[in-house]
């Protein structure tokens, strides 16, 4: 179980100010302590390793060189979600959200990043026993943080294809849960797309509606209305998705949440993906069919510019998204 050792841990760390010598020198939170990443290891008997019984979050921290500030993006929202999702795997006695936010904050702080970073908290079933189940097993929390740039090209637009692999249904493996084992489904989709020369995959629900990308939520624009699939179309209830909805409301862009057919995207005016990894990435082609003539549409561009201004602390209206993190 999660211990309380970290509360009194010293502020020193193996990482010196500036870039670490290697990834191994970065600081991670593991079994209640802050340790060098090289020492954050689990046994091959660990239940989560053998069966994928873990939940995780992806969080970004953005460096603003002009301000000399590193901003953690929506730390609290991510910790609220991982706590809910861990409960889906029957994990109990979880730390309160405030404590989880503190641990993530401290892990980032100890790495002294002066560049963009990616943070991955994970609750995992840590028992060492053979047998598929969720109940009666101990769990642990780990948090790692690494330097991280763009996952895909967020400026020029990306090309995607409809995957032959469907999204796992909620009554089979809930996509809203960010369950580690479920990401094998996404890996099939992502590899199929990239091996066929595309950047990403459009994934359909079992009944044929557009769900999301391999690991990102999706929006399309038709006749000035921003459309996004509902949560019951087997999507992740994305933190970035909620941020986009907030931006749309701020700028008076009409939004509708409803099921979207694959062919409806072919005739859409605009499309983009959003998520921690892809951030906000315009889509200019689906299945060899250009969207908006292969250009980035005006609503996508407006939201793209607004989002990147907000996450780097350059728009004071959205400072509530951000947590300043000391780098020294």
Q: What is the pLDDT of residues 156-197, one digit of tens each?
A: 899 999 999 999 999 999 999 999 999 999 999 999 999 999
* Measured distance CA(186)–CA(188) in Å, rounded: 5
51-55, 148-152, 219-223: segment of lowest average pLDDT:
148-152
What does the mean pLDDT of the chain come to? 93
Which pLDDT does position 15 carry in this prediction? Answer: 37
Closest CA relative to residue 126, chosen from 48, 20, 205:
48
Whether residue 17 has pLDDT greater than 60:
no
Look at residues 222, 239, 60 and name the one whose alpha carbon lies nearest to residue 151: 60
- Domains plus CATH for the chain? 5-147 (3.30.470.10), 158-311 (3.20.10.10)
Asked whether the predicted pLDDT for residue 34 surpasses 50, the reply is yes
- The residue ranking higher by pLDDT, 292 or 71, is 71
Task: Pick 129 or 238 by higher pLDDT.
Answer: 238
Q: Which of 5, 128, 156, 178 is catalytic?
A: 178
Residues present in the chain in total: 328
Structure tokens at 172: 């089979």
Residue 326 pLDDT > 50: yes
CA distance 115 to 20: 12
Q: What share of the chain is helix, strand, coil (3-state, %, to 5)?
A: 30, 25, 40
Q: Judge whether residue 8 has pLDDT over 60.
A: no
pLDDT score for 21 = 57
Compute the distance between CA of residue 305 and CA of residue 287 in angstroms, rounded to an integer: 27
Confidence of residue 20 (pLDDT cuts 50, 70, 90): low
- Least trusted range by pLDDT, from 20-34, 71-85, 209-223, 247-261: 20-34
Instruction: Kindly report, residue by residue over 269-293, the tens digit of the pLDDT.
Output: 999 999 999 999 999 999 999 998 9
pLDDT at 78 over 90: yes
Q: Does 19 have pLDDT greater than 90?
A: no
Whether 316 is a known active-site residue: answer no
Is-contact 26 38, C-beta < 8 A?
A: no
Give one word for 208, left, alpha or beta, with left for phi > 0 and alpha for psi -120 to 50.
left
Do 178 and 56 touch, CB atoms closer than 8 A? yes
Torsion of CA 112, 114, 120, 123, to 10 degrees: 20
Quick check: 148 and 60 in contact, CB under 8 A?
yes
pLDDT band, very low/low/confident/very high, at 11 (cuts 50, 70, 90): very low
**Taking 90 as the threshold, does the pLDDT of residue 230 lie above it?**
yes
Find the DSSP H helices in 238-282. 239-250, 262-266
Share of the chain above pLDDT 70, in %: 94
């Amino acid at each position: 179980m999660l211990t309380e050792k970290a509360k009194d841990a010293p502020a020193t760390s193996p990482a010196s100010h500036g870039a670490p010598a290697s990834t191994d020198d970065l600081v991670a939170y593991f079994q209640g302590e802050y340790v060098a990443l090289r020492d954050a290891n689990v046994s091959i008997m660990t239940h989560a390793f053998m069966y994928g019984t873990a939940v995780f979050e992806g969080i970004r921290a953005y460096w603003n060189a002009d301000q000399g500030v590193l901003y953690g993006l929506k730390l609290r929202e991510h910790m609220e979600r991982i706590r809910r999702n861990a409960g889906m795997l029957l994990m109990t006695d979880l730390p309160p959200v405030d404590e989880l936010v503190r641990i993530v904050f401290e892990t980032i702080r100890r790495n002294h990043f002066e560049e963009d970073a990616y943070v991955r908290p994970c609750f995992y079933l840590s028992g060492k026993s053979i047998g598929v189940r969720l109940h009666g097993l101990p769990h642990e929390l780990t948090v790692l943080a690494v330097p991280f740039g763009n996952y895909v090209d967020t400026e020029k637009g990306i090309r995607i294809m409809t995957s032959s692999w469907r999204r796992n249904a909620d009554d089979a493996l809930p996509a809203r849960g960010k369950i580690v084992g479920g990401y094998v489904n996404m890996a099939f989709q992502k590899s199929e797309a990239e091996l066929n020369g595309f950047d990403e995959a459009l994934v359909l629900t079992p009944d044929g509606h557009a769900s999301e990308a391999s690991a990102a939520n999706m929006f399309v624009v038709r006749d000035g209305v921003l459309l996004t699939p509902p949560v019951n179309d087997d999507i992740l209830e994305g933190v970035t998705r909620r941020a986009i909805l907030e931006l749309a409301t701020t700028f008076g862009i009409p939004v509708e949440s409803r099921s979207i057919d694959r062919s409806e995207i072919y005739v859409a005016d605009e499309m983009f993906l959003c998520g921690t990894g892809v951030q906000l990435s315009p889509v200019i082609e689906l299945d060899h069919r250009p969207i908006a003539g292969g250009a980035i549409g005006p609503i996508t561009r407006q939201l793209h510019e607004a989002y990147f201004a907000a996450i780097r602390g350059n728009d004071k209206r959205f400072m509530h998204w951000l947590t300043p993190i000391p780098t020294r």
